[in-house]
Amino acid sequence: MSKQTLILLYGGRSAEREVSVLSAESVMRAVNYEKFTVKTYFITKSGDFVKTQIFDEKPAENEKLMTNATIDFDKIVKASDIYEKDAVVFPVLHGPMGEDGSIQGFLEILRLAYIGPNILAAASTMDKLLAKLVFETVGVPQVPYVAVFSDDNLQAAEQEIAEKLQFPVFVKPANMGSSVGITKVGSPSELQAGLKEAFKYDSRVVVEQGVDAREIECAVLGNNGEVSATLPGEVVKDVAFYDYNSKYIDNKIEMAIPAVISPDLQQEIQNYAIKAYKSVNGTGLSRCDFFVTADNKFYLNEINAIPGFTQWSMYPSLWANMGLKYSDLIEKLVELAQSAFETREKHLL
Ligand SMILES: Nc1ncnc2c1ncn2[C@@H]1O[C@H](COP(=O)(O)OP(=O)(O)O)[C@@H](O)[C@H]1O
Ligand SMILES: [Mg+2]
- SS3 of the chain: the string is CCCEEEEEEEECCCCCHHHHHHHHHHHHHHCCCCCEEEEEEEECCCCCEEEEEEECCCCCCCCCCCCCCCCCHHHEECHHHHCCCCCEEEECCCCCCCCCCHHHHHHHHCCCEECCCCHHHHHHHHCHHHHHHHHHHCCCCCCCEEEEECCCCHHHHHHHHHHHCCCCEEEEECCCCCCCCCEEECCHHHHHHHHHHHHCCCCEEEEEECCCEEEEEEEEEEECCEEEECCCEEEEECCCCCCHHHHHHCCCEEEECCCCCCHHHHHHHHHHHHHHHHHCCCCCEEEEEEEEECCCCEEEEEEECCCCCCCCCHHHHHHHHCCCCHHHHHHHHHHHHHHHHHHHHHCCC
Q: What is the pLDDT of residues 51-79, one digit of tens each?
A: 999 999 999 999 999 988 899 999 999 99
Contact 257, 318 (CB under 8 A): yes
pLDDT at 17 (0 to 100):
85
Q: What is the pLDDT of residues 30-46, one digit of tens each?
A: 999 999 999 999 999 99
Q: Which domains does the chain have, with CATH numbers?
A: 4-114 (3.40.50.20), 125-140+212-346 (3.30.470.20), 145-209 (3.30.1490.20)
Separation of CA 212 and ligand 1 centre (Å): 11
Q: Who contacts 165 (Cβ-Cβ below 8 Å, separation ≥6)?
A: 144, 145, 146, 207, 208, 209
Angle at alpha carbon of residue 333, lines to 332 and 337, rounded to 5°: 120
Instruction: Name the residue with the closest Cα to ligand 1, atom 9.
Output: 170
Q: Who contacts 287 (Cβ-Cβ below 8 Å, separation ≥6)?
A: 217, 218, 219, 220, 303, 304, 307, 314, 315, 318
Residue 91 one-letter amino acid = P
Ordered per-residue pLDDT tens for the chain, 349 residues:
689 999 999 999 877 788 899 999 999 999 999 999 999 999 999 999 999 999 999 999 999 999 888 999 999 999 999 999 999 999 999 877 888 999 999 999 999 999 999 999 999 999 999 999 999 999 999 999 999 999 999 999 999 999 999 999 999 999 876 677 999 999 999 999 999 999 999 999 999 999 999 999 999 999 978 999 999 999 987 645 556 555 554 555 689 999 999 999 999 999 999 999 999 999 999 999 999 999 999 999 999 999 999 999 999 999 999 999 999 999 999 999 999 999 999 998 8
Q: Is the minimum distance from the CB of 179 to ligand 1 under 6 angstroms?
A: yes
203 φ/ψ sector (left φ>0, alpha ψ -120 to 50, else beta):
alpha
**Least distant ligand from the CA of 176:** 1
Beta bridge partners of 207: 146, 171
Q: Who contacts 245 (Cβ-Cβ below 8 Å, separation ≥6)?
A: none
pLDDT at 7 (0 to 100):
98
Residue to mutate (ligand 1; options 143, 234, 242; most atoms within 8 A of CB): 242
Q: Is the minimum distance from the CB of 170 to ligand 1 under 6 angstroms?
A: yes
Distance of CA 238 to the CA centre of its chain: 23
* Closest atom of ligand 1 relative to the 241 alpha carbon: 27
Instruction: Name the residue with the closest Cα to ligand 1, atom 15.
Output: 179
Separation of CA 277 and ligand 1 centre (Å): 19
Separation of CA 290 and ligand 2 centre (Å): 9
Contact 79, 158 (CB under 8 A): no
pLDDT at 49 (0 to 100):
97
Separation of CA 242 and ligand 1 centre (Å): 7
**Least distant ligand from the CA of 234:** 1
